[in-house]
């Protein structure tokens, strides 16, 4: 593992990528990016104001309405996307390391989701659109109807800091495949890595204005959401922010996809296999230091197995290896920022003053005073009405809740404002499936939880609107148009 001191300092990103070139910001505001494991300064990134956002949207609008992109065929778009995937792959190692330094993600996971996934998603959607019939001719009472699928238009993509490369490409790849143009507004907490998309777009020959990148805070996001030339907003982030974005999109009659928060449940039935559960905890409960919207932070356990599972969870979390996320042996890195650390510690303090029982963790680890580390923490005997069971912590703090039988487990799992992820653990997969079918959530795993990039992902209830990934993710960037014609086209 390279030491932090031996790594090159990332370059400052004091310009935006607008209309195929590097643009000087209108204002002078910037964000100082800090290393999550040390708190040291990494580099600076310029912050956009309303005029910068306006320039990016105008470039995207012009590229769609007057540039070559609006006239491309699906195979032509697919070819550019594959070249862009090749360009990202060349940069995969350095991108993975940079993101781990920015947000504390363990390097093995970063290699997969920040290094490999963006290129894979571009290729997946290139293949999908290249083989998709975008025009269908149907017989009608008056002759025929030509049903067309056309790009929705200019897309404003607003992405968070926890999986910055993958979640941006959840939006960019299907938008490009559909023929849309994009303005990407990443989070300041990961101020540096998003510009790798610009470098790859230039290398791939993506036409000017098709992809524009402006780093910004909430004000820049609000300007993008309300811009009159934007046709769709694709947002991943908190439910609170999603409500405001959804309200504005409703006022403007604007399409939106909202992937929001979660408080998912892992349901361990009375015949669950403990070793299988422990092997799957990283993906279900502790992925990316639990800074994941699908984190199953409510662990529901059958009363007959309760003490056994609580003890195993306490041992599991005590054995987790905390440290620099660039060390491959580390299983839990730091929180992404000081604010995030304070948020997590605040929930731990709140739970300590409740009737819940602390069984492991509960504070900052010794020897890791630099950076934003917190011990993986487990509270047992949590009531599902407690704040720890109702609110998203977004850190490695688990609430263990007992249940009586399958019906009780389903009731508790569904007693939540959220519905994004989940899992059911049982030696009888058919029994687990019967429970999973009754849990109101957008995704749920049987004896494991791993996102499938080829299938739809999204939430129910306060966890969001719409779906990303899979063919369904492409549909979100397409509009339907019916052209009423004569019957001459039926035999064409």
- What are the catalytic residues? 259
Cβ neighbors of 162 (< 8 A, separation 6 or more) are 103, 105, 288, 291, 292, 293, 336, 394
To 10 degrees, the CA torsion angle through 273, 276, 279, 285?
Answer: -70
Residue 410, C-beta contacts closer than 8 angstroms, at least 6 positions apart:
435, 438, 439
* Exposure of 193 in the CB half-sphere (CA atoms within 13 A): 35
Contact (CB, 8 A) for 251 and 58: no
> Is residue 161 classed as helix, strand or coil in its secondary structure?
coil
Task: Count how many Cα atoms sit within 13 Å of the Cα of residue 373 in the half-sphere of its side chain.
Answer: 23
CB 424 within 8 A of CB 435: yes
Residue 312: how many CB atoms within 10 A of its CB?
A: 16
Cα R_g (the chain), whole angstroms: 23
Residue 18's DSSP bridge partners are: 21
What is the spatial distance between Cα 317 and Cα 103, in angstroms, rounded to a whole number? Answer: 21
CA 471 vs CA 173, 174, 476: distances in Å: 12, 9, 9
**Cβ-contact 211, 181 below 8 angstroms:** yes
151/231 Cα distance (integer angstroms): 10
For residues 23 and 440, give the distance between their C-alpha atoms in angstroms, rounded to a whole number.
46
How many CB atoms are located within 10 Å of the residue 40 CB? 14
Round to whole Å and give the CA distance between 139 and 147: 11
Lateral strand order in the sheet of 298-302 = 357-360, 377-380, 397-403, 298-302, 265-268, 423-425, 445-446
* Cα distance between residue 456 and residue 258, in whole Å: 13
Among 448, 412, 411, 410, which Cα is nearest to 399's? 412
The DSSP code sequence of 299-339 is: EEEEGGGHHHHHHHHHHHHHH--BS-TTSTT-SB---SSHH
Residues facing residue 265 across a β-bridge: 298
């Amino acid at each position: 593992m390279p030491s932090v001191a031996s790594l090159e300092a990332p370059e400052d990103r004091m310009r935006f990528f607008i209309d195929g070139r590097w643009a000087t910001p209108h204002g002078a505001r910037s964000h100082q990016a800090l290393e999550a494991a040390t708190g040291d300064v990494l580099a600076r990134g310029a912050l956009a104001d309303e005029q910068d956002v306006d320039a990016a949207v105008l470039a995207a609008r012009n590229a769609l309405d007057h540039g070559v992109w609006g006239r491309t065929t699906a195979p032509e778009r697919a070819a550019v996307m594959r070249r862009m995937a090749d360009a990202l792959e060349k940069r995969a190692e350095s991108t993975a390391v940079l993101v781990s330094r920015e947000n504390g993600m363990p390097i093995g996971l970063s290699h997969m989701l920040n290094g490999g996934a963006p290129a894979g998603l571009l290729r997946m959607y290139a293949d999908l659109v290249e083989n998709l019939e975008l025009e269908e001719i149907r017989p009608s009472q008056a002759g025929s109807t030509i049903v067309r699928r056309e790009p929705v238009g200019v897309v404003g993509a607003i992405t968070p800091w926890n999986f910055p490369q993958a979640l941006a490409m959840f939006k960019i790849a299907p938008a490009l495949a559909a023929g849309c143009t994009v303005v990407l507004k990443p989070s300041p907490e990961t101020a540096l890595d998003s510009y790798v998309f610009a470098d790859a777009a230039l290398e791939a020959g993506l036409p000017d204005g098709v992809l524009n990148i402006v780093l910004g805070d909430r004000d820049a996001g609000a300007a993008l959401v309300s811009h009159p030339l934007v046709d769709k907003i694709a947002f991943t982030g908190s439910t609170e922010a999603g409500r405001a974005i959804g309200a504005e999109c409703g006022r403007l009659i604007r399409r939106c996809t909202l992937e929001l928060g979660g408080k998912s449940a892992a349901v361990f039935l009375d015949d669950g296999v403990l070793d299988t559960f422990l092997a799957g905890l990283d993906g279900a409960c502790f992925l990316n230091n639990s800074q994941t919207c699908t984190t199953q932070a409510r662990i529901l356990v059958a009363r007959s197995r309760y003490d056994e599972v609580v003890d195993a969870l306490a041992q599991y979390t005590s054995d987790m290896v905390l440290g620099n996320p660039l060390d491959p042996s580390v299983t839990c890195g730091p929180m992404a920022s000081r604010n995030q650390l304070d948020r997590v510690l605040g929930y731990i303090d709140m739970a300590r003053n409740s009737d819940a029982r602390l069984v492991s963790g509960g504070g900052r680890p010794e020897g890791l005073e630099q950076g934003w580390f917190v011990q993986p923490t487990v509270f047992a005997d949590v009531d599902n009405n407690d704040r720890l069971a109702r609110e998203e912590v977004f850190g490695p703090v688990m609430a263990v809740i007992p249940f009586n039988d399958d019906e009780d487990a389903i009731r508790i799992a569904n007693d939540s404002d959220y519905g994004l992820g989940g899992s059911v653990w049982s030696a009888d997969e058919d029994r687990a499936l019967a429970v999973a079918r009754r849990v109101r959530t957008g995704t749920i795993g049987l004896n494991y939880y791993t996102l499938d990039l080829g299938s739809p992902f999204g939430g129910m209830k306060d966890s969001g609107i719409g779906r990303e990934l899979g063919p369904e993710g492409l549909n979100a960037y397409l509009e339907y148009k019916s052209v009423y014609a004569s019957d001459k086209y039926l035999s064409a």
